[in-house]
Structure 1
Amino acid sequence: MKIDKIESFFIRNGYVIRIHTDTGISGVGQTACWGYPEAVDQIINTFKKYLIGQNPLRIEHHWQYLYRMGPFRGTALSGAISAVDIALWDIKGKHFGVPIWELLGGNCRDKIRLHLLGGGGTPETMYEAAKAAVEEGFTALKFDPVVGNFQDMAVDRLVKTARDLVAAAREGGGPDLDLIVEVHRKLTPMNSIV
């Protein structure tokens, strides 16, 4: 089996690849490099020169080669390697007819707790998102309370906006919904300690 084609897709601010083989099996991989999908695309185009014609089942070999092929590493390179790695594992699982978790050593638990990634830009939409999360059976909601033109907000307004969104999530979700607050490195050190 050989890799014969690699496609890429921009999906909103994300990036997905599909690696095709000459046997008809294909695998899909996604990058977690949300901020730089164009950079990841350029790296994937560079990777294609190496990957086309290779055996897709040699996952660790390809990972090591791609990681070491240049001296400069960072977010975009790691994101590109991640997409390739996931797609190759997808191919391997399909080739052997087993789920990827089985290839990685089997399951170690029979269930996992999930959180819903959601929220809203206003207290009203945040309230509804939290309420809907509980109604869907989620016990945790992850959201970003730093919304809008936060860079232009005075610190007291930024704090009030974030506080209002968190309060709305608490009210909508009730006392048993765990709230996971993610600010995506948006705050300066000064703003984060206020």
Structure 2
Amino acid sequence: MNVKSPFSKLLNATRVASAQMKQGVGDLRDKRLAILDEIDRIESLPALRSDVIAAIDRGLDRMIAEGQDAVYTPGLVRNSGGAVFEPPRTEAVMGLLVGANRAAFREQLIALIDQSYTQPEMPLEDRARELKRLRTDLHDVEMAEEALIREAERVGNPILRRRDTDGDILLRADSEFA
């Protein structure tokens, strides 16, 4: 009987199992990176154009109101031997200028933001729902990665953890990975 043959088969099976565990962790890490890329993509999507235009309208209205409030009209109409005009602050002047031609300011701002809409928009509710789903998927993948790493350690085939491994996952009991 050749003792070397069963030993080499066992050794080969061990190598194959080790390679499969490492490949499994590598696949999970690739999936994790894909999820992180998708999270980044969604987070970088522009706000809804209609929401931005509404914010522009509110901002212009606020500028106009603040500009008008900054002008001290009682000083202009006071009957004290001649009206005295005290020029308003720069911010007030800007508000008055915007009020004099609000439509042109609005058009110009909308034209500027339209140049930034090179990606599709995503409503806030959809964005929040999709990010929540992706973060759940990310957590599941990271849990599976840690479970596989722990199994590899149990069989004497340690795999290095990522530097950025979630501490909450690292501190979980083995029973939480079942």
Question: Fold match, TM over 0.5?
Answer: no
Of the two, which has the highest radius of gyration? Answer: 2
Structure whose residues are more often helix by fraction: 2
Greater relative contact order: 1 or 2 (C-alpha under 8 angstroms, separation 6 or more)?
A: 2
TM-score normalised according to structure 2 size: 0.23
Structure whose residues are more often strand by fraction: 1
